[in-house]
Amino acid sequence: MAEADPKTTAAPSLDAVRTRIDAIDAAVLRLVDERAGLAHVVVAAKAAAGDAGKFGLRPARETEIIRRMLSMLSQGATPGLVIRIWREMMAESLALQGPFNLSVWGGADATRTVELARARFGGAPGLKLATRPEEALAAALSQGGVGVLALNADTAWWGRLLAQPRVKVFAALPCLASQGPMGALAVAEVEVEPTGSDMTFWVTDAAGGAGAIEEALGRDGVAATCIAVAGGLKLFNLAGFYQADDARLARAPGGMSGVIGAAPTPFDV
C-alpha cells in the first residue's frame, strides 16, 4: 500500500487537537489524584511499621525518581518541565503526610534564596524568612523542618553542623545547572544516602590557603573545591559521596574537621 503524501495529508483541525488535549488533561488529573491519595496510604503504612510521625523526606529517592523520569523523555516535554512537575507532586505528597516547613536565611540576597528554595521544594511547604542563620538551623531540628541557608562570605553557619550532627546538608541549590553557581544549602534531620552522582560537604579549620588543602586532598585521591571561607573555617565540596569516617579525610589537614552532609549533583538542565 502506498504511503500517504505528507503534502496532501490534511493536518488535524485545531478543534480536534483541543479535544485530544482535554482528554489527556482528564487522564492526567485522574493519575495525579490517585498519586496524591497514596500519601495517606503511606501514613498508614508508616504507622503500622512504627514510624508514625517520622519526617518522610528522602532526598536520594526523590533524585532517583526524577533521573528515571528524565531518562524516559521521548517527545515534547522538556527536562525542566518534568523536574518542576515532579518536584511539586513529591512536595505535595510529603506535606500531606505530616508537617513540612521551610525556614530560609537569605543572607545578602534573600529574594534569590527564596526562589532557589521554592524551585527545589515546590509550593506545598510553608515558608518563613529567618533573620539569622541560627533560626534556620534551629527550625531544621523541628518536626518536618528544613533550613535553607545562603552561602555568604561573612558567616560560617555551616561550621556549626560539626557540633550538631543530627542536622545534615542534603541538597545544594540551585538544583539545576542552568540556574547558575551554588548559592545555598538545604539542611534537615534526614538520612543522607548516595545516588550515584553526588558531592560531599567537608569542613576544616586547617590553616593556610585553600589551594594547599585542595592539593593535599588531591594527593590522596580526593577532588576538592573550596566554596566558602569564614570564621577561621573552610568549606569544601568533594566530588563523590564520602562517609564521615573515610580514612582519606582523617589524613587531611586540620585539627577540627568533618563531613556535614552530601547532595546529589545538579541536574544537567
Which pLDDT belongs to residue 10? Answer: 73
Which pLDDT belongs to residue 52? Answer: 75
| Mean pLDDT of the region 202-224 | 97
Q: Is 259 buried (19+), middle (13-18) or exposed (0-12) by CB count in 10 A?
A: buried
Mean pLDDT (the chain) is 93
Which pLDDT belongs to residue 5? Answer: 60
Which pLDDT belongs to residue 47? Answer: 82
| Mean pLDDT of the region 198-205 | 98
| Mean pLDDT of the region 109-124 | 96
Q: Which of 259, 258, 252 is nearest to 216 (CA)?
A: 252
| Spatial separation of the C-alpha atoms in residues 217 and 208, rounded to whole Å | 14
Which 3-state string (H, E, C) describes 184-207? Answer: EEEEECCCCCCCCCEEEEEEECCC
What is the residue whose three cell numbers read 526523590? 62
| Mean pLDDT of the region 108-128 | 96
| Mean pLDDT of the region 9-15 | 83
| Mean pLDDT of the region 101-128 | 96
Which pLDDT belongs to residue 228? Answer: 96
Burial profile 199-226: b = 16 or more Cβ within 10 angstroms, e = fewer:
bbbbbbbbeeebeebbebbeeeebebee
